[in-house]
Structure 1
Amino acid sequence: MEKKKLVVLSGAGISQESGIKTFRDSNGLWENHDIMEVASPEGWRRNRALVQEFYNQRRKQARACQPNEAHKVLARLEQRFNVTIITQNVDDLHERGGSSHVIHLHGELSKAQSSKNPDLVYPMEGWEIKEGDCCELGSQLRPHIVWFGEPVPKMEEAIDHAATADYFIVVGTSLQVYPAAGLIDYVPKKAKKFLVDVVIPNSPLTKDVFCLEKRASEGLKHLESVILGEL
Structure 2
Amino acid sequence: MTFDLFDALPADPDTPPATEPLGPGAVVLRGFARDVDTRLLAAVDHLSAQAPFRHLITPGGLRMSVAMTNCGEAGWVSDRTGYRYDPADPDSGAPWPPMPEVFRALAERAAASAGYPGFAPDACLINRYLPGTRLSLHQDRDELDLRAPIVSVSLGLPSTFLWGGLRRADKPARIRLAHGDVVVWGGPSRLVFHGIAPLADDDHALTGRTRINLTFRKTR
Q: Which one has a larger percent helix, Structure 1 or Structure 2?
A: 1
Q: Which one has a larger percent strand, Structure 1 or Structure 2?
A: 2
